[in-house]
Amino acid sequence: MARGGGLGNIMKQAQQMQARIARVQQELETREVEATAGGGMVTARVNGKQQILDLKIEKDVVDPEDVEMLQDLILAAVNEAVKKSQDMIQEEMGKVTGGMNIPGMF
């Protein structure tokens, strides 16, 4: 009987952790991070689902003779915003899982 009770307890704890993870995932969807490039000339805003919500480009940085620079600034801002979003997700999930890496959860 003791073994069954132990397994039941483990299953209950796993279900509780799964519920906490789902709650955190929902909360992260509403959280946002922002990153800039080129001294604020390009700004990207990303949510906890790693979706780009907004991209702002100051008109002073738009130069038809140097499109590559603008592309580089956009990539830099978006990549940094996505990285910040990933870091935010890892930090929040780490609080729930105690630092355990659970494949497929996040």
Residue 83 belongs to domain with CATH number = 3.30.1310.10
Instruction: Return per-residue pLDDT of the chain as tens, 106 residues.
Output: 445 568 888 888 888 888 988 999 899 989 999 999 999 999 999 999 999 999 999 999 999 999 999 999 999 999 999 999 999 999 988 888 776 665 555 4
Q: Which domain holds residue 73?
A: 2-97
- Within a domain: 67: yes
Q: How many domains does the chain have?
A: 1
pTM: predicted TM-score of the whole model, two decimal places: 0.76
Residues 6+ apart with CB under 8 A from 35: 43, 44, 46, 77, 78, 80, 81, 83, 84
- Within a domain: 72: yes
- Within a domain: 38: yes
- Within a domain: 64: yes
- Within a domain: 12: yes
- Within a domain: 103: no
